Amino acid sequence: MKLCAPLPGHLDATKKILKEEASNLHEVFMAGSSDYIPTGRQALGESFSETIEETTRLVHEDNLRMDVVMNASCMGGRHLTDEGLHRYMSYLEILARAGVDAVTLADPYLIEVASRNFSFDVIVSCISFVDSPEKAIFYEELGADGITVDTSINRDFHVLEAIRDAVSCDIRVLVNEGCLYKCPFRYFDFNVVSHTSGPPPVPKISFNYYQRKCRSLRVKKPWLLMKANWVRPEDLKAYEEIGIDTFKISGRNQPVNWVIETIKTYKSRDFSGNLIDLLDYSRSMKHLFYIPNKKLDGAIDRWKSCDRNCHRCGFCKDLTAQIMKVYLERGTDREMLVSLTELNEGVPDEYPE
């Protein structure tokens, strides 16, 4: 197993993660500078060139690989202007001088430019939505050294096997992003984040419709959490059996201690808690829902043969009703967990009127 883990970006965090988890890792990744190229996740701080250089030095001391992520889905066409291309090439040169081992990109043009002009590995981001052997071949021919597949095929073993068979480059699975299966907001939200995380002009958005709607959909239809694109630590072996052994942990905006615990969990392939606590995107929902991870043993066998026609199946919905629980009065002396079935029958411990 080759585990890739996020670095929040500041050197203190890097040192702590490396000190505790270097022996469990193959590669670490952090966001590039938003002054140059935006990324697919909202940046929390500035990854200055000096920080990336120093981080790379520390990472190499532990014999790990360093990947810089610049996976915006939209650059507003800047990369296709002379000035923009010059700017991006300059930044890629800075990264090359810093000694990074890989750069993760989403845009096909930048992938081609980077692979033709630099010796570091070029990794295709999950935001390139590689969900078929054809797309995988396209990117490999463009020069990609690795492909992080579209998370919507994380449980589609038929397609994963076909992609593995079609290309010889490294195939990566993002195991804990936690986004909706076939998320209808995905392209649009990544486009928004690309602009709000990048160089000026930065739109001052009043609210993020996509993230709000995603959250309320999960509250209204909790089985969407079950169908989301996560992979349990216990189920990594199913991927290794089809020749995929590089696993990427999502979470560069999460706290350092969580990153460390999540690395340990995936390395140990064993987790007894609330599965939602492992997820990057929907982690805050662990205060509302409880999914007992151990009760998901064996579900992967069904998902491996799933035909993705949820409207005819109902397996995930039934499983949700059986095992998922809801917190009532979380954080108080009266905190309790009730099943969704109990909730549908009426909230227990009713208040006196």
Residues of the shown chain interacting with other proteins in the complex, contacts defined by CB under 8 A: 206-207, 209, 212-213, 215-216, 218-220, 222, 284-285, 288, 326, 328-332, 334-335, 340, 343-344, 346-347, 350-351
Of 10, 19, 20, 96, the closest CA to residue 262 belongs to: 20
**Closest approach of other proteins to the CB of residue 218, in Å:** 8
Is the Cβ of residue 40 or residue 222 nearer to other proteins in the bound state? 222
> What CA–CA distance (Å, rounded) separates 24 from 4?
9
Q: Are the C-beta atoms of residues 278 and 229 closer than 8 Å to each other?
A: no
**Closest approach of other proteins to the CB of residue 221, in Å:** 9
**Closest approach of other proteins to the CB of residue 314, in Å:** 18
**Closest approach of other proteins to the CB of residue 292, in Å:** 17
**Closest approach of other proteins to the CB of residue 293, in Å:** 20
Tokens coding 222: 């909790």
**Closest approach of other proteins to the CB of residue 182, in Å:** 21
Q: Are the C-beta atoms of residues 252 and 8 closer than 8 Å to each other?
A: yes
Q: Are the C-beta atoms of residues 347 and 334 closer than 8 Å to each other?
A: no
Is the Cβ of residue 312 or residue 334 nearer to other proteins in the bound state? 334
> What CA–CA distance (Å, rounded) separates 348 from 353?
14
Is the Cβ of residue 195 or residue 218 nearer to other proteins in the bound state? 218
In this structure, what DSSP letter does residue 109 have? Answer: H
Give the chain's radius of gyration (CA, Å): 21
> What CA–CA distance (Å, rounded) separates 202 from 217?
28
Is the Cβ of residue 80 or residue 219 nearer to other proteins in the bound state? 219
> What CA–CA distance (Å, rounded) separates 86 from 83?
5
Is the Cβ of residue 10 or residue 215 nearer to other proteins in the bound state? 215
> What CA–CA distance (Å, rounded) separates 188 from 200?
19
Is the Cβ of residue 17 or residue 288 nearer to other proteins in the bound state? 288
Percent helix / strand / coil, the chain, rounded to 5: 50, 15, 40
Tokens coding 164: 């593995």
**Closest approach of other proteins to the CB of residue 211, in Å:** 10
Is the Cβ of residue 144 or residue 285 nearer to other proteins in the bound state? 285
**Closest approach of other proteins to the CB of residue 338, in Å:** 9
Taking residue 86's Cβ as centre, other Cβ atoms within 10 Å add up to: 10
Is the Cβ of residue 16 or residue 215 nearer to other proteins in the bound state? 215
**Closest approach of other proteins to the CB of residue 212, in Å:** 6
3-class DSSP state for residue 97?
A: helix
Note the maximum CA span of the chain: 72
Is the Cβ of residue 48 or residue 209 nearer to other proteins in the bound state? 209
> What CA–CA distance (Å, rounded) separates 230 from 152?
9
In this structure, what DSSP letter does residue 2 have? Answer: E
Specify the amino acid at residue 183: C
Of 254, 226, 228, 215, the closest CA to residue 41 belongs to: 254
